[in-house]
Amino acid sequence: MKAYYEILFAISIILAGIYAVIWRKRFSIYFTLIFLAVPLTLRGYILQTNALIIEQAISGVKLTYQGAPFLLLFIMLAIFDLCKLKSTRLISGIFFTLSSIMFLPVLTVGSSPIFYKSISLQVIDGKTELIKEYGPLHTVFYLFVATYLAITIGVIIYSLLKKKDSSKKNLLILLFCEGVAVILYLSRHFFHLKIELAPLSYIISEIILLIIIHRISLYDVTETAIDTLAINGDTGFVSFDKKFTYIASNKVAKEVFPALKELRVDSNAAKNEELNSELISKIKEFVADNSKEHFFKESGGKIYQINIDYLYSGKRKHGYMIYIQDDTQDQKYISLLNKFNERLKDEVAEKTENIVKMHDNLILSMATMVESRDNSTGGHIKRTSDVVKLLIDEILQDKSEDALKLSAEFCHNLIKAAPMHDLGKIAVDDAVLRKPGRFTEDEFAIMKTHAKEGARIVHEILKETDDQAFHVLAENVAHFHHERCDGSGYPEGLKGEAIPLEARIMAVADVYDALVSKRVYKEAMSFEKADAIMMESFGKHFDKQLEKYYIAARPKLEAYYAAL
């Protein structure tokens, strides 16, 4: 019996380690609590079987019983999340309070008869056995456990019958897991077994949860910021796995391909005649020849361009992603081009300009979305971009011998990249990003990661662009705008001209805006005080070469902020 509990405990530690390796910020907090609670519960069983005195056994009993009110609560709330039935803080608080109330009688074991009337310890041939007589509240405790199990099973069955946005396979796996837990629990009492089977059900639950966590990583259509834009914007998205199992889609996609409205998550799209003809066959053509990556479809009086790409998880291909974009206007332009060859250059130029605007708007929309999560920097993106323009205007007007020589391409790219400098904040946890006050040292350390993370995100967004110069500049702005010329900045501690010029210019705009703008933790600083700080920082924080351009731009900067 002792070996049984020790083996289960070792397995729980291994499973917790696996969970720690695959953990992502988007995972429900209840997943983490489950993987923390199970080893603690199993540790209680080990304490009981190893106890030589009654006090040790009682400590094990108390630790073991936390598994019922709290571990079952965490499992129930985790299943709420998996079924996409978000519980409010009030409901979660009520359940947690009830669990705490039910756990209080457990603490009286050994000192009061309300939960255990009596408990004694005997050791025979080196084997520890607890002799227990249950009290009145123990029966209530059983009813409480049964209620949690009933609610959990009820939620799973409801989701199976009513919710198409939950994976049927995941729900069936969960239902099987709960069924096994009930059977194991009842078997121990019906067959009068000396070992507890509830710990085994906890291990099974952890294994099932790991399987489901792996599966839901592919089913989360809102995992990235771009997905969020897609759900609320004009771009349609549909995803399938390698076997054409339907994973997810958004509203636009369902309007273009109405058959998606009736398709359930986890069902095989190839079995739907309409989808197989219009979409799956095109994906198969793309697999055979990657140059066939797009086609067109008319729907509702509009012409849509459908682009096919692979669905990645990390670097591995896990399926296919379909992008749907309203291309009606472009198709009209193409039609006109076929009729009027003399207008070819104008039409191509207009199309290119539209694409560039779409690209720029997407970048700005992403940056604005990131800023909307940060309740302390409202309008920072637009203001810093405008400050960069003012500084560049002064640099371009400088005709002296020691003037900075900036190309038109560099200036255009820097103004275009400025809104992307804080994209890395999308990876910062809300608890830090939205904190209404100054950061602690640990919180600031987390916030500082946004520079390196921003460079990674910008790299991923622009890695396929033909404009390599813009790609490099935008990545530098995101990565190095918090570096200082004296080497005291982050994330790399670069000094002087080792810091790219675009990042040095961005730093001036970023800090000036932070000084003269109101934040949740401070009022806006006066222009005089802000100027004193700025001037003192040239040669230390800022590039000394930029000092004269800041001085030249200062009247325009003050006029700009005064008008806000």
Does the residue 332 lie in any domain?
A: no
Least confident of 107-116, 203-212, 247-256, 433-442: 433-442
Q: Is residue 304 within 8 Å of 324, Cβ to Cβ? A: yes
Mean pLDDT of 283-303: 89
Whole-number pLDDT of residue 224? 46
Domain membership of residue 345 (yes or no) is no
Residue with tokens 């108390």, as numbered in its chain: 62
Q: How far apart are CA 420 and CA 381, in angstroms?
A: 8
Tell me the pLDDT of the chain averaged across its residues: 84
Tell which of 219, 248, 265 closes a domain. 219
Q: Is the pLDDT of residue 34 over 70?
A: yes
Q: What percent of the chain has pLDDT over 70?
A: 85
Q: How many domains does the chain have?
A: 3
pLDDT in tens, 457-491: 999 888 877 789 999 999 999 999 999 999 999 99
244: left (phi over 0), alpha (psi -120 to 50) or beta: left
pLDDT at 347: 64
Burial classification of residue 488, based on how many CB atoms lie within 10 Å of its CB (0-12 exposed, 13-18 middle, 19 or more buried):
exposed
Q: What is the mean pLDDT of residues 235-262?
A: 89
Q: State whether 26 and 146 are in the same domain.
A: yes
pTM value is 0.43
How confident is the model at residue 408, as a pLDDT? 94
Are 201 and 264 part of one and the same domain? no
Rounded-to-integer distance, Cα 195 and Cα 40, Å? 18
Residue 362 has a pLDDT of 66
Question: Residue 337 domain-assigned?
Answer: no
Looking at 6-15, 114-123, 264-273, 433-442, which range is the least confident one? 433-442
Mean pLDDT value of segment 244-265: 89
Q: Are residues 200 and 121 in the same domain?
A: yes
| Domain, as residue range, for 486 | 351-562
Lowest-pLDDT range of 10-19, 146-155, 367-376, 549-558: 367-376
For residue range 184-237, what is the model confidence (pLDDT) as tens digits?
Answer: 877 766 666 667 788 888 898 889 888 888 776 655 544 544 444 444 557 888
Residue 116 neighbours by CB distance under 10 Å: 22
Mean pLDDT of 106-132: 83
Say if residue 272 is in the same domain as residue 293. Answer: yes
Helix (H) or strand (E) holding 413: helix 408-417
The average pLDDT across 102-127 equals 84
* Two tokens, residue 198: 């509830």
Q: Region 50-76: what's the mean pLDDT?
A: 83
Q: Are residues 317 and 412 in the same domain?
A: no
- Band of residue 127 on the pLDDT scale cut at 50, 70, 90: confident
- Give me the helices (H) in 163-243, please: 168-190, 198-219, 225-232
Give Cα separations from 238 to 347, 364, 368, 516 (angstroms): 31, 24, 25, 45
* 378 found inside a domain: yes
Among 81-95, 184-198, 289-303, 324-338, top mean pLDDT goes to 289-303
pLDDT at position 348 = 57
Q: How confident is the model at residue 438 (pLDDT cuts 50, 70, 90)?
A: confident
Residue 138 has pLDDT above 50, yes or no: yes
Residue 336 — pLDDT band, cuts 50, 70, 90? low
Q: Are residues 173 and 322 in the same domain?
A: no
Tokens, residue 166: 């939950």
Q: E-strand spans in 360-489?
A: none
Q: Is 75 in the same domain as 199? A: yes
Q: Is residue 289 part of a domain?
A: yes
Task: Using the 3D structure, point to which of 200, 219, 238 is the last residue of a domain.
Answer: 219
For position 444, which CATH number holds? 1.10.3210.10
What is the percent of the chain where pLDDT is above 90?
Answer: 34
Check whether 340 has a pLDDT greater than 60. no
What average pLDDT does range 295-312 have in this prediction? 87
For the ranges 5-19, 194-208, 377-391, 422-436, the maximum mean pLDDT occurs at 5-19
Q: Are residues 231 and 211 in the same domain?
A: no
Residue 337 is predicted with a pLDDT of 55
What's the pLDDT band for 360 if we cut at 50, 70, 90? Answer: low
Residue 146 lies in a domain: yes
Q: In what order do the strands lie in the sheet with 316-326?
A: 246-249, 236-241, 316-326, 302-313, 294-299
* 333 domain residue, yes or no: no
For tokens 């291994």, the residue is 14
The CATH number assigned to the domain holding 138 equals 1.20.1070.10
State the pLDDT at residue 473: 95
Q: Same domain, yes or no, for 314 and 271?
A: yes
Q: What is the pLDDT at residue 452?
A: 95
Give pLDDT, residue 359: 63
**Tens-digit pLDDT profile for residues 86-107:** 777 888 888 889 888 888 998 8
Which pLDDT band, with edges at 50, 70 and 90, does 160 fall under?
confident
Q: Work out the burial of residue 349: count CB atoms within 10 Å of its CB; fewer than 13 is exposed, 13-18 middle, 19 or more buried.
A: exposed
Give tens-digit pLDDT for 539-548. Answer: 999 999 999 9
Predicted confidence at residue 508, as pLDDT, reads 97
Q: Are residues 478 and 386 in the same domain?
A: yes
> Residue 506 above 60 pLDDT?
yes
Domain containing 272 — which CATH number?
Answer: 3.30.450.20
DSSP 375-389: TT-TTHHHHHHHHHH
Is residue 331 in some structural domain? no
Whether the per-residue pLDDT at 448 is higher than 80: the answer is: yes
Identify the helix (H) or strand (E) that includes residue 111: none
pLDDT digits (tens, 9 = 90+) for 392-409: 999 999 999 889 999 999
Four-CA torsion 181, 161, 83, 16, nearest 10 degrees: 30
pLDDT at 481: 95
pLDDT at 527 over 90: yes
Domain boundary among the residues 311, 326, 341 is at 326
Residue of 86 and 12 predicted with greater confidence? 12
**Shared-domain flag, residues 229 and 254:** yes
The rounded distance, in Å, linking the Cα atoms of 283 and 323 is 12
Whether 190 and 276 share a structural domain: no
- Give the model's confidence band at 374: pLDDT under 50 very low, under 70 low, under 90 confident, else very high: low
